[in-house]
Structure 1
Amino acid sequence: MQIHLDTPDLMTRVRLESRWRSAGANVTSSQMPGHPDLVVVDLGTRGVEAIADWRQRYPEARILAFGPHVEGEMLKAARQSGADEVVVRGKVADRVAAKLESDRS
């Protein structure tokens, strides 16, 4: 699976990329990600507006947005903006890893 991770937070990026690569994914975080199967957007740093931008660039890709659990309205707005799935920050690593596991089965 080709995953594009959209976050400027270095700690978050390193942690998530490492986890997903060890599960077999190809993970990018460049501005030109090729053709990702999944775009993962950090709402806390990118905002809900990023969802529409990624949807326009890669309409066939699934979009998973994540953000702080205390930002319920932002998480709700992300779904309304076109995210296929929205999770809290603490669950994003496991959620994507589970998708990778199910793809391998």
Structure 2
Amino acid sequence: MPLRPVSGGVSLRLRVTPRGGADRIDGLAADASGEPFLRVRVSAVAEKGKANDAVLKLLARALRLPRSAFAVASGEAGRTKSVTISGDTERLMADLGDWLAHLEKTPG
């Protein structure tokens, strides 16, 4: 699972496709070393933080959490990113774990 607990919240590993034609979450996948990530595509271009902002807004909407709870922790200029979600770590791990499990079971 691309989710792990961190101090004051959780960290979510993403692979982002900017200029992807739409803002959507494409599901779970794994890289060549087997590390899981959440596939996200946004229509925004990857310049001046526009794609990162679109990703954070999309995640906030999908997870029904305030946008202020999300921040890019690493990979700001790359396609692979780590996003931190601030809040109660145990609750977030449970809620997001359920959400990710549902994504695995939902086709396309």
**TM-score, scaled relative to structure 1:** 0.30
- Compare relative contact order (CA 8 Å, sep 6+) and give the higher one, 1 or 2: 2
Q: Report which of the two has the higher share of strand.
A: 2
* Bigger helix share: 1
TM-score, scaled relative to structure 2: 0.29
